[in-house]
Amino acid sequence: MGNSLLSIDWDYFISTENENIVSYVENKRTILDLWYKRYLKAKTIGKNIQNSFLLSSEVEDFWNKIKKVFYFDPKVKVYVSESHALSYEIAEHFQCNEVYLFDAHADLGYGGLASLNFEVNCANWLGQLLKNKKIEKAHIIYSPYTKEKPEYFNQINKKFNVNYLHFNNLNKEIETTAIHICRSGAWSPPWFDQKFKEFVNALGIPYKVIDCPIRHWKPKNLSYADQLQYLMA
């Protein structure tokens, strides 16, 4: 078996009734300010946006299932970040030849092969790893809540070795040198951040946090000036 990176996006566990959230930029505006804006706009029509998102119960038993399939190197390194783009650097650093991605998004690049001509970002890092021959294979395990379909990436699928798998179809004893868990705050609501922390700690392996800022979610404490600022975000 090859040397693999296990890459997990927190939004794998999150379902939403909300419209698709599309962003290739991750900054304070997209990971926090826009969540307040969505909350305030929904409130004006009598809705609580927090009721539109659900955290899957799968999060409670996820690591137990993972450990039955993946074999962690005794010196396995674990990283936690805001952006999923960090997976590119991790895979390159550890010379991984395969990536196993659990995500609501394929991160192969949106817009066909042309999308791989841009810099590495949260939307194309996996496609960039394939294009730049940093890895040989990509295995994507979609969230049950994903709105994507493999055929959206036909150009990339035909050119590179991309497999779309279900959890039950994974081989056993997948050798894993590194694990990356990303929060992807542009897609994952800040009110789930405590659950995210609990999820990371439940792995039971020391980890290094890289650029994952604390988000303070206190919508009931917003002043009138705060509300205006967020509505203009």
Per-position b or e across 67-81, b if 16+ CB within 10 A of its CB: eebbebeeebbbbbb
Q: Is residue 125 pLDDT above 70, yes or no? A: yes
Helix axes 224-231, 34-43, angle to 10 degrees: 110
What end-to-end distance do the CA atoms of the chain give, in Å?
A: 48
- The pLDDT tens digits for 10-42 are 999 999 765 455 555 677 788 999 999 999 999
The whole-angstrom separation of Cα 45 and Cα 47 is 6
123 touches 24 (CB < 8 A): yes
Q: 39-89, pLDDT tens digit by residue?
A: 999 999 999 999 999 999 999 999 999 999 999 989 999 999 999 999 999
| Helices and strands (H, E) in the chain, number of each type | 8, 9
Pick the more confident residue, 219 or 18: 219
Report pLDDT for 17.
64
CB proximity list for 92: less than 8 A, separation 6 or greater: 129, 134
pLDDT digits (tens, 9 = 90+) for 150-189: 999 999 999 999 999 999 999 889 999 999 999 999 999 9
SS3 label, residue 230 = helix
pLDDT at 18: 55
Backbone angles phi, psi at 181, to 5 degrees: -120, 120
Average pLDDT over residues 178-207: 97
Task: Name the phi and psi angles at 142, rounded to 5.
Answer: -70, 145
Q: What is the chain's mean pLDDT, rounded?
A: 92
In the prediction, which pLDDT does 96 show?
97
The pLDDT assigned to 23 comes to 54
Please say if the pLDDT value at position 204 is more than 90: yes
Retrieve residue 214's tokens. Answer: 């604390």
pLDDT at 227 over 70: yes
Model pTM score? 0.93
- CA–chain centroid gap for 15, Å, is 13
Phi and psi at 96, nearest 5°, equal -70, 145
- Give the separation between CA 51 and CA 49, rounded to whole angstroms: 5
Q: What is the domain partition of the chain in residue ranges?
A: 4-13+29-231
**Using CA atoms, how far apart are residues 190 and 183, in angstroms rounded to an integer?**
10
